[in-house]
Amino acid sequence: MTVETESGYADFFGPQVPRTGDEGQTPTFALASAAYRDNEADEILKANNEWHKSAVAKPRIKLFRPNLGEAYSRAIIDRMLGAGRAPLIQSFGTQPQVVVEHSLAAHRIRRERDNWLSAVMVLCGVLFLPGLLVWLLVFQIRTTMAKREDKRAGALATTLLVAVGGLAVLFLLRMPFEGFWGWYARACVAAPVIGWYWAKRICERTAKDLRERWSSLLSGSSVGAKVPEAVPASPGETAAEQLRQSLARLSAEQQSNSVFYAGPKGILGMGTRWGSWQLAEELVPADPDREINPFRSWDVIKAIHDRLRMLERGPLHTGGFPKPSVRHWIVTPIGENATAVSRPEGTDVEAYQIKSHAIQDICNKQQFGAGDRHYLGVQWTLWDGQLVITMLITVTVLHETLRIEVTGHALGPVHSLFTSGPAAKEKEVQKSIKFWETRKVKLPLVDSDEVVRLAARAPLTWSPPLLYWLGGKLTLPEPFGLRHAWADKPWRHRFMADDALRAATPVLRAVHSAALKVLEENGVDTEKFGSRSSSLSTAVQDAAPQKADVYDA
Give residue 245's pLDDT: 86
The span from the first CA to the last CA of the chain, in angstroms, equals 54
Contact present, 187 and 135 (Cβ < 8 Å): no
Span 150-185, pLDDT tens digits:
555 555 655 665 666 666 665 655 666 665 566 676
Pairing type for strands 325-333 and 258-261 reads parallel
Task: Work out the average pLDDT over 323-351.
Answer: 90
Q: Is the peptide bond before 479 cis (omega within 30 degrees of 0)?
A: yes
The average pLDDT across 53-66 equals 89
DSSP reduced 3-state for 206: helix
pLDDT at position 154, please? 53
Strand, helix or coil for residue 218: helix
Q: What is the pLDDT of residue 141?
A: 67
> What is residue 315's predicted lDDT score, i.e. its pLDDT?
80
What integer pLDDT is reported at residue 162 of this predicted model? 62
pLDDT computed for residue 8 by the predictor: 41
Range from 7-21, 139-153, 167-181, 232-246 that averages highest in pLDDT: 232-246
The answer to whether the CB of 417 falls within 8 A of the CB of 48 is no
Predicted local confidence at residue 22, as pLDDT: 41
User: Is 144 or 53 the better-scoring residue by pLDDT?
Assistant: 53
Share of the chain above pLDDT 90, in %: 37
Q: Return the bridge partners of 332, or none.
A: 260
State phi, psi for 348 to the nearest 5 degrees. Answer: -90, 5
pLDDT at residue 452 above 60?
A: yes
Checking if the pLDDT of 3 tops 60, the result is no
Q: How is residue 318 annotated by DSSP?
A: S
Q: What's the pTM?
A: 0.83
What whole-number distance in Å separates Cα of residue 170 and Cα of residue 263?
68
How crowded is residue 400: how many other Cβ atoms within 10 Å of its Cβ?
10
Question: Higher model confidence: residue 146 or residue 407?
Answer: 407
Say which residue, 237 or 465, is predicted with more confidence: 465
Query: Whole-number mean pLDDT of the chain?
Result: 82
Best-predicted range by mean pLDDT (11-25, 178-192, 431-445, 461-475) = 461-475
Model pLDDT, residue 165: 62
- Categorize the per-residue pLDDT at 11 as very low, low, confident or very high, splitting at 50, 70 and 90: very low
Q: What pLDDT, on a 0 to 100 scale, did the predictor assign at position 1?
A: 35
Q: Would you list the domain boundaries of the chain?
A: 257-415+491-542
pLDDT above 60 for 19: no
Does the pLDDT value for residue 310 go beyond 60? yes
Q: CA–CA separation, 383 vs 195, rounded Å?
A: 49
Give the rounded distance of the alpha carbon of 306 from its chain centre: 33
Does the pLDDT value for residue 355 go beyond 50? yes
Question: Residue 339 pLDDT > 60, yes or no?
Answer: yes
Phi, psi of 429 (to 5 degrees): -130, 160
Of 61-65, 249-253, 397-401, 431-435, least confident by mean pLDDT is 431-435
